[in-house]
Amino acid sequence: MKRLTTTGLSIAVLAPTASPALADPGAPGTTFPELPGSSLQNACTALVSNPGALSAPRSPTAFTITNGLFGDACFSS
């Protein structure tokens, strides 16, 4: 009985944290409005206005992602 109670309490405590993972992600491009889609100028402004976005020390992976976003947002048509 003690094991059953412990299992039940564990499930009850962990269930609320699992619910976001089971949520419907929605259509592509609608769940992350900060990503550049139709608002490339906003993405460029966000990167340029944040002084640490392009100059802060970061890993090679982060460097590739940030600079790729900067190139796409600010220099693509």
Residue 37: predicted pLDDT: 56
Provide the phi-psi class of 15: left if phi over 0, else alpha when psi is between -120 and 50, else beta. alpha
Is the entire prediction scored with pTM above 0.75? Answer: no
Residue 28: predicted pLDDT: 61
Do residues 74 and 48 lie in contact, with contact meaning Cβ atoms separated by under 8 Å? Answer: yes
Helices 40-49, 60-75: axis angle to 10 degrees equals 130
Locate the domains of the chain by residue range.
Answer: 37-77
| Tens-digit pLDDT string for the chain (77 aa) | 888 899 888 888 877 776 666 666 666 656 655 555 556 777 777 777 877 766 778 888 988 887 887 787 777 65
